[in-house]
């Protein structure tokens, strides 16, 4: 079972919306997916309550110590991908999610505050020797600010593609208990989410996203 963790200490970065969008896109690709809600705000849990479909499964974890048993249970049940949504802080739950992940996604909006807030999360990920990538989220369609943010994040590590543009479909889908690929399958937001899922899938399967430690290991 692969484990994908969405982590950053910056609130409002769109972790939960991304987690839902990726889970549904993966499910539509034929994968058996579960979401682990480790954020006390419970955005994904409430989304699940609005959803008519029993899939993807959502497990709510109130104590960081329950993350590992939840993942072990999902793996035993044949889950192919578990996506962990964490709180907007590098707390115990986030650290456990990072430690158990095959890939961490660090969402960031194209603003100096978001980029600065990503650094402590990045430090924690590197200390735990996990693979990671930044993902620019809630972005304008184009512009200098977007280019500057992409350059800044690329200098710190890998950057997932494509960028996720701020579009109403994401919030409308969340409110309807749907993934954006279900809500407006022909829309630009759905197209971008499918492309992001393909990027994530490739990195999970190939295991090619990493950091300096991968280069050090390859040198021996």
Tell me the domain boundaries of the chain.
2-219
Quick one: pLDDT at residue 27?
95
User: In this predicted model, what pLDDT tens digit does every residue of 69-111 receive, in sequence order?
Assistant: 999 999 999 999 999 998 876 678 889 999 999 999 999 988 8
Closest CA to 3 of 93, 131, 127: 131
Does the pLDDT value for residue 143 go beyond 80? no
Six-digit token string for 79: 């889950």
In DSSP terms, 2 is beta-bridged to 81
Provide the pLDDT for residue 90: 67
Report the chain's C-alpha Rg in angstroms. Answer: 16
pTM above 0.85, yes or no: yes
Distance of CA 131 to the CA centre of its chain: 13
CB contact set of 188 (below 8 Å; sequence gap of 6+): 165, 167, 169
Q: Which two tokens stand for residue 40?
A: 């006390």
Q: Is 89 or 198 the better-scoring residue by pLDDT?
A: 198
| pLDDT of 167 strictly over 50 | yes
CATH number, domain 2-219, options 1.10.10.10, 3.40.50.300, 3.40.1160.10, 3.40.190.10: 3.40.50.300
């Amino acid at each position: 079972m692969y484990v994908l963790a969405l982590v950053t200490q910056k609130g409002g970065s769109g972790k939960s919306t991304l987690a839902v969008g990726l889970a549904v896109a993966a499910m539509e690709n034929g994968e058996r997916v579960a979401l682990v809600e480790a954020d006390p705000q419970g955005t994904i849990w409430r989304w699940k309550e609005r959803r008519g479909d029993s899939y993807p499964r959502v497990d709510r974890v109130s104590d960081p110590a329950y993350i590992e048993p939840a993942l072990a249970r999902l793996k035993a049940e044949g889950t192919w991908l578990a996506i962990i949504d964490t709180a907007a802080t590098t707390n115990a739950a986030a650290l456990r999610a990072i430690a158990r992940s095959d890939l961490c996604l660090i969402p960031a909006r194209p603003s100096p505050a978001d980029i600065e807030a990503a650094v402590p999360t990045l430090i924690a990920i590197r200390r735990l020797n996990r693979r990671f990538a930044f993902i620019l989220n809630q972005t304008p369609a184009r512009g200098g600010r977007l280019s500057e943010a992409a350059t800044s994040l690329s200098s710190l590590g890998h950057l997932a593609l494509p960028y996720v543009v701020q579009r109403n479909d994401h919030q409308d889908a969340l409110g309807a208990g749907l993934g954006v690929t279900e809500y407006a399958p022909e829309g630009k937001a759905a197209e971008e989410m499918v492309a992001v899922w393909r990027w994530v899938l490739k990195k999970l399967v190939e295991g090619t996203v990493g950091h300096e430690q991968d280069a050090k290991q390859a040198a021996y």
